[in-house]
């Protein structure tokens, strides 16, 4: 079943976080990573005809006669994952498992092999066909015998040091794994925020369609998720565990690299942070923040609210 067509521009990063202060800090931080991620994403991958998206028209914010201000015109398109996207998707997921050695290639193969649910974003009519975003959901029970999923489960269980969370995590990764979708969403940092509602709507629509259209009952059931697990990164203030004196202080305790994860965090049943071995060089404005990993568990029944809140967040930003 096709998606709606759409094209968007590659616009400056517009991080969305709790407060104006946090947004300004995130803007500075992500600006350092833009060139690196775009370069890597453009190195590999290929695709053909783009899927349906709605066209978005904006006035150009720069011209040939003006000094370049970081705005590049680009039309993006949605594609089904395919084997040719291997290197582009692998580049985006390079730090998904921190700096641990694991079966990343097998993980990418799982994502690309699930063509009925999942989307890659590329530039329309671009010769390099670089992958700018990947989004999908993998059933942890269906793929439990794959090395990459076994390693990921082991990794997460070792990371969880909170006694009140480890039992819940072990349950979702074990006896309830057939009901759990690993929500994977990685992208270059300056992908236009306007794309996000389209991307998530496409993903969750495809999940619904898969429960109706997959050829076997077993496959249809594998997309009837009751829970989602999200593994990502977040900036936490180094003094966040101390008593905060105002609501502004509390809001600035976290900076979300991905705006949608602020919503997912609020909707989550539980979550926990874990230290990262790999730390990125960041701007001076982030000297009081530490980059952490975060694991969130979200009930599938909350996804409708998530989609609505995401549309509102992006439209009002």
142-187 pLDDT, tens digit per residue, is 999 999 999 999 999 999 999 999 999 999 999 999 999 999 999 9
Q: What is the SS3 assignment for 26?
A: helix
**Which residues are CB-neighbours of 206 under 8 A, at least 6 positions away?**
1, 116, 117, 118, 119
Query: Residue 305 and residue 40: Cα distance in Å, rounded?
Result: 34
Residue 141 lies in a domain: yes
How many residues in total does the chain contain?
317
In a domain, 153, yes or no: yes
Residue 82 covered by a domain = no
Contact assessment for residue 139 and residue 181, using Cβ atoms and an 8 Å cutoff? yes
Residue 24 lies in a domain: no
Q: What letters, b where the CB count within 10 A reaches 16 and e where it falls short, cover 265-276?
A: bebbeebbbbeb
Q: Percent helix, strand and coil across the chain, each rounded to 5?
A: 40, 20, 40
Instruction: Give domain status of residue 212, yes or no.
Output: yes
Asked if residue 32 belongs to a domain, the reply is no
- The total domain count for the chain is 1
Please tell me the pTM assigned to this model. 0.80
**Residue 278: inside a domain, yes or no?**
yes
**pLDDT digits over 47-101, tens only?**
333 344 433 333 333 334 445 455 566 789 999 999 999 999 999 999 998 888 9
In a domain, 298, yes or no: yes
121 neighbors 78 (Cβ within 8 angstroms) = yes
User: Is the pLDDT confidence value at 193 over 90?
Assistant: yes
From the list 136, 221, 115, the residue with the least C-alpha distance to 183 is 136
The domain in which residue 173 lies consists of 134-198+208-316
């Amino acid at each position: 079943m096709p998606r709606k067509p759409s094209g968007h521009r590659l616009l400056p990063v517009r991080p969305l976080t709790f407060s104006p202060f946090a947004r300004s800090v995130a803007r500075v931080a992500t600006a350092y990573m833009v060139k690196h991620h775009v370069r890597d994403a453009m190195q590999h991958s290929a695709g053909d005809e783009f899927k349906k998206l709605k066209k978005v028209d904006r006035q150009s914010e720069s011209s040939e006669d003006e000094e370049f201000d970081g705005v590049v015109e680009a039309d993006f398109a949605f594609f089904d994952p395919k084997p040719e996207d291997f290197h582009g998707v692998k580049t985006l997921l390079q730090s998904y498992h921190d700096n641990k050695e694991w079966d990343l290639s097998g993980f990418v193969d799982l994502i690309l092999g699930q063509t009925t649910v999942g989307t890659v974003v590329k530039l329309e009519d671009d010769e390099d066909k670089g992958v700018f975003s990947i989004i999908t959901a993998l059933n942890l029970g269906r793929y439990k015998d794959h090395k990459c999923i076994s390693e990921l489960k082991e990794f997460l269980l070792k990371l969880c040091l909170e006694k009140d969370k480890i039992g819940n995590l072990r349950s979702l990764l074990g006896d309830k794994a057939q009901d759990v979708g690993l929500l994977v969403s990685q992208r270059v940092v300056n992908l236009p925020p306007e794309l996000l509602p389209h991307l998530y709507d496409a993903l969750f629509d495809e999940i619904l369609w898969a429960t109706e259209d997959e050829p076997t009952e077993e496959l249809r059931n594998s997309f009837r998720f009751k829970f989602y697990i999200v593994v990502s990164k977040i900036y936490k203030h180094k003094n966040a565990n101390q008593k905060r004196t105002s609501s502004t202080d509390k809001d600035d305790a976290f900076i979300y690299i991905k705006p949608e994860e602020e919503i997912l965090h609020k909707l989550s049943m539980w979550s926990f942070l874990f230290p990262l071995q790999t730390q990125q060089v960041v701007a001076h404005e982030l000297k009081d923040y530490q980059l952490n990993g975060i694991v969130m568990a979200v009930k599938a029944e909350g996804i409708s609210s998530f989609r609505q809140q995401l549309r509102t967040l992006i439209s009002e930003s």
